Each structure stands twice: as C-alpha cells, then as structure tokens.
Structure 1
Amino acid sequence: MGLTPEWALSQVLERSWLLMDQSRALVTAAREELPPDRLWELHQVPAARVMKLIRRGQDEGAFRTDLPMWWLIAVIHQVFHAAPADFTLGHRTDPSRMPKLMTESVLAMLRAPRPSR
C-alpha cells in the first residue's frame, strides 16, 4: 500500500490498538472515573492526528467527503472502543486479529463511495 492515506491511518490505528490493549485496565478505569469532557480533552491529540489523515485521504479522493468530519471521528472512536468490549463480553476473537478487524472496518466506512451508474 505504500504511503497512502489508507496505509498511514491503518498504522495509526494498529499502533493505537496495541497501546490500548497493553493498558486495558487503565483505559477502563479512566472511562469509569473521568468525566466525559476530560476524556474528550485526552482524545484531542490523537483525534487531530486522525483528522489530518482523513483530510489527506479526502484531498486525494480516497476517503469520503459526504459525511461531516465530526461523524467520521465519532464512528472511528466507537469502533476503536468497541474492540475491548469484545473481550469483556466473552467473544472468542483472537486478540491478534483485532487490529486488522478494526482497521478494515474503519477503512470500509471511510472509503469514498463509488459513483452510481
């Protein structure tokens, strides 16, 4: 894939997943203890990085432009934070597959729709 926006975003998501997976207990505690506005503050730097990659993908025609940026970020955030729930709900997803599942889901949502015929 090279240095495409898709590749760059997949790298960010995969590394973020590994970091979150390694500190799952801390992430869970933070979600339970911190108010939503503080959690949002803590997500600003990673969200800005992802927004920059999405804009790049939009500029290059790889990512959709028909949905607002806030919605794209919200969906990515939900996909990202739903992954640990897979484990707590007792699903049997191999944790090593989670980065690929998460990344494929996000990229599928972001891809520019093909023009209808």
Structure 2
Amino acid sequence: LAQQIASLPVSPHTDQERHAPIADRISRVIRRGQASGEFDREVPAEWLAAVTIKIGHAAGEEVEAGRMEPAEAADALRAVLLRALRPGS
C-alpha cells in the first residue's frame, strides 16, 4: 500500500498532509530518543522525521524497481537511519 501511495503524483502540500500522522509519531519517538541521549539533539526532531520518511520511500522505490529485495532494503534502511539519528554523526 505504501508503495502504491508513494507512486501517486501529489503536490508537496498534499504529500505533507498525507504523511502528517506518521511524521508526528516518528517525531515523538525521535524526541524521546533525543531526551535520552540516544539520538542527535542538534537537529530538530521534525526534520529527522522527514528524513526518515524520505529514506523509507527510497527503500520502497529500490524494491519496486527490482534493485533490492525487501529484506535487503529493510536492513539498509535501518543501518542508514541509525547512522543519521546517532549523536555526533
């Protein structure tokens, strides 16, 4: 479903509205990680949430294009996000 939704052309505003619920949840998780020192505090949580969503889309696109298997894309997504969120990255 996420791959189908991602393939629909939409305006940036519509895209932002579509992602708002998940972006809010991701931002809350990131803020908790920032408060505990597990995630970078130098970058706003909302921006890190947007990065997370974009990288998630990239992983889905790689699978859809046949360049990665789903498990490989999930592993790559996890590795890149952990590096991006880590303090002092």
Q: What is the TM-score of this pair, normalised by structure 2?
A: 0.82
- Structure 1 runs, 4 residues or longer, greater than 6 Å off: none
Q: Does 1:28 align with 2:7?
A: yes
Q: Does 1:76 align with 2:55?
A: no
Percent identity among equivalent residues?
29
Tell me which structure has the larger Cα radius of gyration. 1
Give the unaligned 5+ runs of structure 2: none
Partner of 1:113: 88
2:27 and 2:46 in contact (8 A); partners too: no
CA–CA distance in structure 2, aligned partners of residues 42 and 26 of structure 1: 9
Partner of 2:17: 41
Q: Deviations over 1:46-70 (max 9, x none)?
A: 0010010001001111001111233
Partner of 1:94: 69
Q: CA deviation at 1:36?
A: 1.6
SS at match of 2:7: helix
Q: CA deviation at 1:26?
A: 3.5
2:30 and 2:49 in contact (8 A); partners too: no
Q: Larger relative CO (CA 8 A, sep 6+): 1 or 2? A: 1
Q: CA deviation at 1:96?
A: 2.0
CA–CA distance in structure 1, aligned partners of residues 5 and 32 of structure 2: 32
Give the unaligned 5+ runs of structure 1: 1-18
User: What's the C-alpha RMSD, in Å, of the aligned pairs?
Assistant: 2.0
CA–CA distance in structure 2, aligned partners of residues 89 and 58 of structure 1: 34
AA partner of residue 100 (structure 1)? D
